[in-house]
Amino acid sequence: MDEMHLTQLGRDVRGFDSPETAVLERVPNPQSDTLYLARFTAPEFTSLCPVTGQPDFAHLVIDYAPGDWLIESKSLKLYLGSFRNHGAFHEDCTVAIGRKIVEIAAPRWLRIGGYWFPRGGIPIDVFWQSGPAPQGLWVPDQGVATYRGRG
């Protein structure tokens, strides 16, 4: 996959019914010789509870140190949106997203924080990273506070 085969950028794409059918795309990184961190934030991520079918909501923060490839952001938006009708537990959604980005873009490093809103009175935060952060990489705090409700 390369920039010549982008199927979504600049095109009218209605979205995907599931993460399995969604297409996550990459583009060449013009700064591939530089160690830096890029962040995607999805504060309105939704999926479905696989047992009840009720909606689940999360604030996702994806940090990655690109190598030769960047994740194309429109395809990421559509990929994340494909979870809206997908039933999976919080842990599965969070880790699957991180692993998919690693599979497609082969970054030097990636971490994802899934800050899930309470279900059954218990908020669940899920964290995954591809390995240790590269030496010299500035990794800022993800900036999402622990859930406190109205207190």
Catalytic residues: 49, 56
Cα-Cα-Cα-Cα dihedral sign, residues 81, 86, 87, 89: negative
Residue with tokens 């939704």: 46
Angle between helices 73-81 and 90-105 (to 10 degrees): 150
Q: In what order do the strands lie in the sheet with 55-65?
A: 38-48, 55-65, 109-116, 125-129
Pairwise CA distance, residues 37 & 44, whole Å: 22
